[in-house]
Structure 1
């Protein structure tokens, strides 16, 4: 066995290079599914092979005992479903069908954990991958791309399996970046996820839920903040392909027990116990901003009474998600962290009435304004709202963190120092000049429960005094330099005319 151990960067580069097979042929929104499913298949194959070889070394030729031991694994890899089997059959005329069959058998053998995960991807699709000859060539290239030494996912080679989960997250982030507006539908930038995790501080034994879970990156980051593995993740996602990404993401991070449902959170939530919405210690989400046609017409008859504070407008579901999240947080202990567009803070009408009710119930704990251009698909700045059902004081903390970031060519990014400053201010409930302010209930009322951050955090910077003498000296210097340049230019033009 080779001593070569790929680095995270080498794995990431090899994974991104594998996408070349589809670039220019398949739409990025489609080929991400092929790449991520193949990564998942390679992971299952390499882990299975590694564990089989370990038992083979321990038990020799006793295949019956080895089989019994392998049945105790996290998953089952049926015969003729491994990546090695596909390598051996890479020249088959029906290669796409062979891959489909392998995935189907894997799903059947691991029904409780992987039911439906591969139903949205077809490796024999003519419309996506071309006619038979071209399709087989592309699939063969894909197999060879994943057969590189950098993509050996055997635990005995790479050590911790976190490196695979990191690679998967890396790909999802790259796909989100390339997907433009649609990228924000399935991925929350890691730094924002980390910030939310540190603000909510989940602890051992907590039930964590993301009702708009996307590919699962936010929920995983929040769960990883827990000291140890004693937590449960729950989630809901309305897009079938994105739901599958979340299921695989959880599996690759060793979070097989995550309960992720494919459903419409606002219209038909599936996380229900005894005809009541399930309750959680931590509820976190980056829901779609101002979702239109979210189901207002049925909200008045909501069986879970989520809209007792008011029904949001038909064209903006922001407060529908917020109210759902609050209703699913455990009484007297649950915390909610939600990413919202700034309009949520100040829009009037039905949203204003809902906002007023939430503040009067003393649920809102903090408002954090974020920098612009942090999220995929939108350059607008967003905010984080923290609700706390165990809140004691009636004040609300406002933080204007809009100026703390690292500028990027396509996307801005929170630095670690920016995250730390927000978290420290939140935990200390501290007022800082031009950065944070603690507003009393009376002040909130005086402002008609408008939460627009500039109403509370004074960020005005007075113009610097102008030194007239210094400015005049600079003008004199510029005039002297201009006179000199004009003289030189006049001499050169005169020489040209000779």
Structure 2
């Protein structure tokens, strides 16, 4: 039996993309392509499972139906991919696909509730006139029809999820900044997950989870299924991608909330913020107007308007309200308040500005250091992320720390990454070097430095990495005598050339 490989899936996915290119922007058609992959996978799993039960119960439809009802998910006949393919020439095929997606949601509301809510295969905005729309959808169904995703023929259990991640990465690259909003490069996610050190029985949380890549890396790093996955994502389409991504990777009990993490956090227990042993995140860099979800409806005793974020019911901003134009510390404060008090660990990707900007951010940074929450500052190479070339850093936080020092690592220089055509890439050996340096927690010339609390205080809580890690390369001493001898030699050669030139000119009568 021929096995379906990751390459087979990727070939079909790119062929399906060709049906849309030039007609719909890639930031939109990714939703249709990846949703159809999801439907095809669900359908093929159901078909094979039903065949297994039909054989087991010798065609007894009643027993088969009962057994199918105990499966992780179910599909009606008119919600399967095969049904849609058979109706690919129907003039209302877009509506039929929408009805099928709605049916999948209704019959699997516990796991797949609302995952297709932002997808409309009948959209006149995206597809235009009915004739053109029907042609695109017919091609899309035809492309996927050749793909066999039954579990028994898949090369491995991971290839569906891996292909899904591969496509999301390529959409991010293709769409630039717009695509990069929902994707953290795989190697950066791998490093962040390793630094956070997830382990058995941990609750793992990403408050800006995008398409879920960072959560998946943390899940893999834990190397156990005995962890609980939580996330929240503001963008509805990206939230749907994340929910499908979790399902395709076999994490169908992940809790992924939809909404604004800052103004409407969903991680609540008994009206308080739920806490987690591990928090990982790559929040949007310096998000402008992050506080727009808070209504300015209160004044202080002097009748001056107060930012309502300052009155946050969860007291996340008691150490200060970050500037409206830069939301970096708003996310940091939210995450610190969600960190388990006993052994919470947190690794977050941020722009370098958080290390040295002043005003309210400086005061927040001081509180974080004074309360001994910051464990490490790691500088990354520039141009690692889609849509921005600015260098980033990873801040590692820990609750209940036994030491007062802070480790600084400068992994941004030449030799610590691989230069790519469009993006730079962290290699496995680069990740290993950073992780090993973090574990060793010691000063290493031109790479890492363990700074005392007093040093940081003397630097007025400025955490800019060059203040602590000296990567300056001394220039070789110039030997003046060698330089003089070299100049004298050049002057002699020049005199010889000039003399020879005079001979030539004389011979020519010039």
Q: TM-score, normalised by structure 1?
A: 0.93
* Residue deviations 1:389-425 (CA, integer Å, cap 9, x gap): 0311000000001021111111110000000000000
- The residue that corresponds to 2:33 in the other structure is 35
After TM superposition, the structure 1 = structure 2 runs for residues 168-317 of structure 1, keeping only pairs within 5 Å, are 168-295=164-291, 297-317=307-327
Conservation of the 8 A alpha-carbon contact between 2:282 and 2:350:
yes
- The residue that corresponds to 1:494 in the other structure is none
Q: Distance in 2 between matches of 1:333 and 1:79?
A: 49
After TM superposition, the structure 1 = structure 2 runs for residues 61-210 of structure 1, keeping only pairs within 5 Å, are 61-148=59-146, 151-210=147-206
* Residue deviations 1:314-352 (CA, integer Å, cap 9, x gap): 101100000000000010211111110000000011000
> How far 1:472 moved relative to its partner?
4.4
> How far 1:354 moved relative to its partner?
0.4
Q: Distance in 2 between matches of 1:298 and 1:336?
A: 27
Q: Distance in 1 between matches of 2:433 and 2:286?
A: 29
Q: TM-score, normalised by structure 2?
A: 0.91
Q: Distance in 2 between matches of 1:174 and 1:306?
A: 36
Q: CA RMSD in A?
A: 2.1
- The residue that corresponds to 1:439 in the other structure is 451
Q: Distance in 1 between matches of 2:438 and 2:76?
A: 51
- The residue that corresponds to 2:340 in the other structure is 330
- The residue that corresponds to 1:496 in the other structure is none
After TM superposition, the structure 1 = structure 2 runs for residues 372-387 of structure 1, keeping only pairs within 5 Å, are 372-387=382-397
> How far 1:7 moved relative to its partner?
2.4
1:339 aligns with 2:349: yes
> How far 1:53 moved relative to its partner?
1.5
The DSSP-based 3-state class of the residue aligned with 2:449 is strand
- The residue that corresponds to 1:9 in the other structure is 7
The DSSP-based 3-state class of the residue aligned with 1:68 is helix
How many aligned residue pairs are there?
A: 479
Conservation of the 8 A alpha-carbon contact between 2:310 and 2:321:
yes
Higher mean C-alpha displacement, 163-172 vs 461-470: 461-470
- The residue that corresponds to 2:399 in the other structure is 389
- The residue that corresponds to 2:330 in the other structure is 320
Q: Distance in 2 between matches of 1:458 and 1:81?
A: 62
Conservation of the 8 A alpha-carbon contact between 2:193 and 2:217:
yes
Q: Distance in 2 between matches of 1:152 and 1:430?
A: 52
The DSSP-based 3-state class of the residue aligned with 1:368 is strand
Higher mean C-alpha displacement, 438-447 vs 296-305: 296-305
Q: Distance in 2 between matches of 1:113 and 1:298?
A: 35
Higher mean C-alpha displacement, 152-161 vs 325-334: 152-161
Unaligned runs of 5+ in 2: 295-306, 505-510
> How far 1:179 moved relative to its partner?
1.4
> How far 1:467 moved relative to its partner?
6.5
The DSSP-based 3-state class of the residue aligned with 2:361 is helix
The DSSP-based 3-state class of the residue aligned with 1:224 is helix
Q: Distance in 1 between matches of 2:320 and 2:326?
A: 13
* Residue deviations 1:244-275 (CA, integer Å, cap 9, x gap): 11111111111111111111111111111111
1:18 aligns with 2:35: no
The DSSP-based 3-state class of the residue aligned with 1:251 is helix
* Residue deviations 1:10-53 (CA, integer Å, cap 9, x gap): 32232122111111100111101001111110110111111111
> How far 1:186 moved relative to its partner?
0.4
The DSSP-based 3-state class of the residue aligned with 2:78 is coil
Q: Distance in 1 between matches of 2:107 and 2:58?
A: 26
Unaligned runs of 5+ in 1: 491-498
Higher mean C-alpha displacement, 37-46 vs 289-298: 289-298
* Residue deviations 1:93-114 (CA, integer Å, cap 9, x gap): 1111111110011111111211
- The residue that corresponds to 1:452 in the other structure is 464
Q: Distance in 1 between matches of 2:478 and 2:88?
A: 74
Q: Distance in 2 between matches of 1:140 and 1:467?
A: 76
Structure with higher Rg: it is: 2
Higher mean C-alpha displacement, 76-85 vs 417-426: 76-85
- The residue that corresponds to 1:353 in the other structure is 363
Q: Distance in 1 between matches of 2:101 and 2:222?
A: 33
Conservation of the 8 A alpha-carbon contact between 2:211 and 2:241:
yes
1:424 aligns with 2:420: no
> How far 1:66 moved relative to its partner?
1.2
Q: Distance in 2 between matches of 1:465 and 1:108?
A: 76
Conservation of the 8 A alpha-carbon contact between 2:5 and 2:155:
no
> How far 1:127 moved relative to its partner?
1.6
